[in-house]
Amino acid sequence: MKKKRGQQSIIFGNPPIITSTANIVGPMEGEGLLRQYFDFIMADNLNGLESWERCESYMMEWAIKAAIKKENSSMDKIDCILAGDLLNQLMSTHFAMKNLNRPFLGLYGACSTMVESLLLGAMLIDGSFANKVGAAASSHHDAAERQYRFPSELGVQRPPSSQWTVTGSGAAVLSSLGIGPHITGATIGKIVDYGIKDPNAMGSAMAPAASDTLWQHLQDTERTPNYYDMIYTGDLGSVGKELVIQLMQEKGVDLSNNYEDCGCMIYHEKQDTHAGASGCASSAVVFCGYIYNMLMTGKLKKILLLGTGSLHSTTSYQQKESIPCIAHAVAVEM
């Protein structure tokens, strides 16, 4: 069976099953719109640890262990873990992985990392290279701010287009056997760069990549948006979400009935996060909580999840380079 479809997409011959998920968030996320869909809400952003980075490692380790426990499995049954975060050299992920003692592939797709891990994990299982895979991503507001922008202690004023990096982690177990929604297809994104240089305008920078991958997915699979109950992008926030709608309208595609962005689903307006949520954990905690619950309870049957990532660094920003972006997609169906 030929699995490649069109230019960038895959239809899996033996669709891997997402047999369990787990998520953990900080207190601000726990006060938001999806409180009931989080497995564990920390009391503060340190959780009794010495640094924000150690807290992020703790969150990822906790989420992976919790997802495996929910599946009534054990760590030694996991053939490989695919995971990543936002920090230099995947710092938080590597410190989490050293305690899990499993084969590991580190991924950096910025905020697209959760979907990238699901996509590659599905390929491993569909190709019979693994029977059970862990997929995870994390971010921490304070650690990310310190690396990419300003230390939180400075209290620098944020522009209205800026987003709030989610403190949290989400993990999923993918298996060749079991009960749960299947990853039936995927579209691998390509770099899209519209020349935006402002690190406080992530939604504007990533929206073209999201629309590019979505358009290619629809072309490759010969589907319309209505094939899916819902289409979700990862962390475009309110600014990027509206741009995606506009860009797809220009291509003759109407997203008015079944499109939402995870970055618009986490926080209340009264929490003053400006344009919404961002970070690896934005799509990770929403998918591994709310969306997975909707699939398991039959309220959703087919969804397309697009992980969106801005691939700049502190060095490229200081050298006044533009922000290259990417978006990957996975189709998940009951």
Question: Is residue 10 included in any domain, yes or no?
Answer: no
Looking at the domain assignment, is residue 280 inside a domain?
Answer: yes
Residues 69 and 129 in one domain: yes
Q: With H, G, I as helix, E, B as strand and everything else as coil, classify residue 86.
A: coil
Q: Is the pLDDT of residue 229 over 60?
A: yes
Task: Specify whether 167 is located in the same domain as 25.
Answer: yes
Exposure on the CB side of residue 111, measured as CA atoms within 13 A = 40
Gap between the Cα atoms of 322 and 240, Å rounded: 17
Q: Which helix (H) or strand (E) holds 120?
A: helix 113-126
Residue 13: predicted pLDDT: 96
Q: What is the identity of the amino acid at 247?
A: L
* pLDDT bracket for residue 158 (50, 70, 90): low
Q: Are residues 137 and 213 in the same domain?
A: no
Do 202 and 270 lie in a common domain? yes
Domain hosting 51: range is 16-175
Q: Count of CB atoms within 10 A of residue 97's CB?
A: 22
Assess whether 151 and 297 both reside in one domain.
no
Q: Are residues 153 and 191 in the same domain?
A: no
pLDDT in the model for residue 278: 87
Domain's final residue, options 114, 146, 175? 175
pLDDT at 171 over 90: yes
Per-residue DSSP letters for 217-240? HHHHHT--GGGSSEEEESS-HHHH
Are residue 218 and residue 91 in the same domain, yes or no?
A: no
Contacts of 54 (CB under 8 A, 6+ apart): 95
Average pLDDT rounded to a whole number, residues 127-143: 95
Length of the chain: 334
Distance CA 314, CA 271 (A): 27
Q: Does residue 184 register a pLDDT over 90?
A: yes
Q: Give, rounded to a whole angstrom, the gap between the first and last alpha carbons of the chain.
A: 22
For residue 278, give both structure tokens.
Answer: 């961002």
**Structural domain ending residue among the three candidates 154, 175, 196:** 175
What is the residue-averaged pLDDT of the chain? Answer: 93
Vertex 123 angle, CA 121 and 129, to 5°: 85
pLDDT in tens, 86-117: 999 999 999 999 999 999 999 999 999 999 99
The count of other CB atoms within 10 Å of the CB of residue 59 is 31
The predicted pLDDT at position 156 comes to 58
Strands 182-187 and 325-333, by their bridges, are antiparallel
8: in domain: no
CA-nearest of 177, 171, 159, 214 to 66 is: 171
CATH number reported for the structural domain that contains residue 318 in this entry: 3.40.47.40
The answer to whether 70 touches 20, Cβ cutoff 8 Å, is yes
Structural domain contains residue 122: yes
Mark whether 158 and 218 lie in a shared domain.
Answer: no
Beta bridge partners of 14: none
Q: At 150, is the pLDDT very low, low, confident or very high (cuts 50, 70, 90)?
A: low
Same domain? 33 vs 160 = yes
278, 144: one domain: no
Token pair in block for residue 265: 């689903």
Same-domain status, 290 and 268:
yes
Q: Which of 175, 196, 231 is the last residue of a domain?
A: 175
Q: Please indicate, yes or no, if residue 86 is contained in any of the structural domains.
A: yes
> In 3D, which of 8, 308, 3, 2 has the Cα closest to residue 188?
8
In a shared domain, residues 225 and 277: yes
Q: CA–CA distance from 321 to each of 209, 317, 318 (Å)?
A: 17, 6, 8
Q: Is residue 2 part of a domain?
A: no
CB atoms within 10 A of CB 257: 10
H/E run at residue 247: helix 237-250
Q: How large is the average pLDDT for residues 27-35?
A: 96
- List the one residue out of 140, 147, 206, 202 whose CA is nearest residue 167: 140
With respect to residue 1, please indicate whether it lies within any of the assigned structural domains: no
Is the pLDDT at 185 greater than 60? The verdict is: yes
What is the spatial distance between Cα 101 and Cα 90, in angstroms, rounded to a whole number?
17
- Within 13 Å of residue 250, how many CA atoms lie on the same side as its CB? 8
> What is the pTM assigned to this prediction?
0.95
Q: How many domains does the chain have?
A: 2
With respect to residue 316, please indicate whether it lies within any of the assigned structural domains: yes
pLDDT band with cut points at 50, 70 and 90 for residue 149: low
- Output the six-digit token pair for 77: 């049954």
